[in-house]
Amino acid sequence: MIKIDIENLLKNIENFKAGDRLELTGTIYTARDQAHKRISKLVELKKELPFDLKNAVVYYCGPCPKSPDRIIGSCGPTTSSRMDVFTPLMLDRGVKILIGKGNRSAEVYKSIKKNKAIYLAATGGAGALISKKVKKAELIAFEDLGPEAVYKLYVENFPLIVVIDCFGNNVFERN
Amino acid sequence: MRLIDKSEIIFKVESLCADINFNLSEDVLCAVNKNIKNDGSLSDVVLSDIAENAKTAREEKIALCQDTGTVNLFVKYGRDIVLSDKSDIYSLLNEGVKNGYSKFFLRKSIVADPFERANTGTNVPANIYMDFVDGDKIEITMLAKGGGSENASALKMLTPASGWEGVKEFVINAVKEKGANACPPLIIGVGVGGDFASVGLTAKKALLRDIGSHNKDAKYDLRENELLCEINKLGIGPMGLGGKCTALAVFIEPKPCHIASLPAAVNIQCHSQRKKTIII
């Protein structure tokens, strides 16, 4: 288990192999089905995006609403494969780190390799536990989508497993 | 006849929303703990996270999973009941769900139209399945079902000749194809028989059994064990990261069916099973 911030993970991305565990610190952005659809549309129309995709970390997550005494509600990962159709475009535009759960399509594997990106998994169904790792949360776009809105999160020591490394190796075949 | 005040039903359904979303079913927690081998594997990492998550959720009253699901209500409604103000039971149940999901900061995951996809903002309508029974009580079983595991579920109209082997193959293939995305370790509900419309509900109702309980029919009990063993040989493991713990239980529910048909449905439940029964 390695504790690392996003900047250092990006610098040393080749050192992280499928099956490695890490605890990530830094700023990440939530986006799931409808947010991906809208971001893709904005890219197509060459309009301003809700966040800079260059070197960005995208977390497939639709959190629970927060109670007044909390930073965020339960916020575990959702199934990544639903975002597969949008992912090559996101990676081509500069996204480097993907966080979700489950396997990805062949196109996503290719794109991860091509763009030297990395795909990490959080434990699905551990949303209460993960919410304790979020230190700041701010809704930055698509408020009308409710739980599918884009949140900017600052996470500290977010526990993750490398599922697909930047060489396209995956944890599933390792087993 | 027994008069039940409508506010009692609304309030109890409201509280049930919080109860199931903050407290993992005891049978699931027990089964998860049993599979932790302390061998440093990724399987152990995930199972330990699940157990720790259950503790955090319970103690701090945070939803176990951010996908607080579609609410399914299985109701046994006594015929000797009168509701105050001539209330409609379906409206009261939906009102309770709406209030509960708002009051306890649970996620609203229902969109009004499958193509427009605008969120109803209330997490209703709930799926309500009503059975009328003798007596003056209302038994309500709530099952909040996440989208990821529901998406891994499947239905197939088999031929009678394919028999148990055909059903077995169908269930195993469903788990093989999509089980890794459904947050394993899984609980697997299998409905067999009935018809196209009913078999899915049969599979869903099968999920309501407690882990460790036996099928009352010995033949089906054997089939459940056979399927569970086969599924746990697939190597999918917790969160699909490999290992022997892919499913915690398989429950099979048979129903009478047409001479030409063998409908089968598999309803997949993630490890975050949120279910509880109350009696009013």
Test A125 with B242 for CB contact under 8 angstroms: no
Dihedrals phi, psi of B162, to nearest 5 degrees: -70, -25
Band (pLDDT 50/70/90 cuts) for residue A21 is very high
> Nearest residue on chain A to B240, judged by CA atoms?
A102
Q: What pLDDT sits at residue A110?
A: 97
How far is B265 from B103, CA to CA, in rounded Å? 35
3-state secondary structure chain A: CEEEEHHHHHHCHHHCCCCCEEEEEEEEEECCHHHHHHHHHHHHCCCCCCCCCCCCEEECCCCCCCCCCCCCCCCCCCEHHHHCCCHHHHHHCCCCEEEEECCCCHHHHHHHHHHCCEEEECCCCCHHHHHCCEEEEEEEECHHHHHHCEEEEEEEEEEEEEEECCCCCEHHHHC
pLDDT of residue A8: 97
User: Distance (Å) from the C-alpha of residue A156 to the closest C-alpha of chain B?
Assistant: 17
- Residue ranges and CATH numbers for the domains of chain A are 2-173 (3.20.130.10)
Say if residues B149 and B184 touch (Cβ distance below 8 Å): no
**Mean of all residue pLDDT scores within chain A:** 96
Residues of A in contact with B180 (CB under 8 A): 102-103, 172
pLDDT tops 70 at residue A118: yes
Is residue A23 predicted with pLDDT exceeding 70? yes
Rounded to an integer, the average pLDDT of A117-140 is 98
The dihedral formed by the CA atoms of A29, A22, B273 and B226, expressed in degrees to the nearest 10: 130
Query: How close does chain B come to A12, measured CA to CA in Å?
Result: 23
Two structure tokens written together for B163: 């028999």
Reported ipTM: the value is 0.93
How many beta-carbon pairs below 8 A join chains A and B?
A: 137
For A48-104, the pLDDT digits (tens) are 999 999 999 999 999 999 999 999 999 999 999 999 999 999 999 999 999 999 999
Classify A78 in phi/psi space as left (phi over 0), alpha (psi -120 to 50) or beta. beta
A67: nearest CA in chain B? B105
Asked if A167 is an active-site residue, the reply is no
Contacts with B46 from chain A: Cβ below 8 Å: 123
Contact A147 B108 (CB under 8 A): yes
pLDDT in the model for residue A174? 54
Quickly tell me which residue has 């009051």 as its tokens: B103
Nearest to A172 among B57, B121, B240 (CB): B240
Of A21, A61, A123, the CB nearest to B239: A123
Q: Taking the model in full, what pTM does it have? A: 0.94
Q: Do B53 and A126 touch (CB under 8 A)?
A: yes
pLDDT in the model for residue A173 = 73
Q: Which of A32, A36, A96, A133 is catalytic?
A: A36
CB contact under 8 A, A128 and B53: yes
pLDDT on residue A172:
82
For residues B272 and A74, give the distance between their C-alpha atoms in angstroms, rounded to a whole number. Answer: 13
Consecutive sets of 10 residues in chain B, 280 residues long: mean pLDDT of each? 97 98 96 95 96 98 98 98 96 98 97 94 97 98 96 97 98 96 97 98 98 97 98 96 96 98 98 97
Interface touch B107/A74, C-beta < 8 Å:
yes
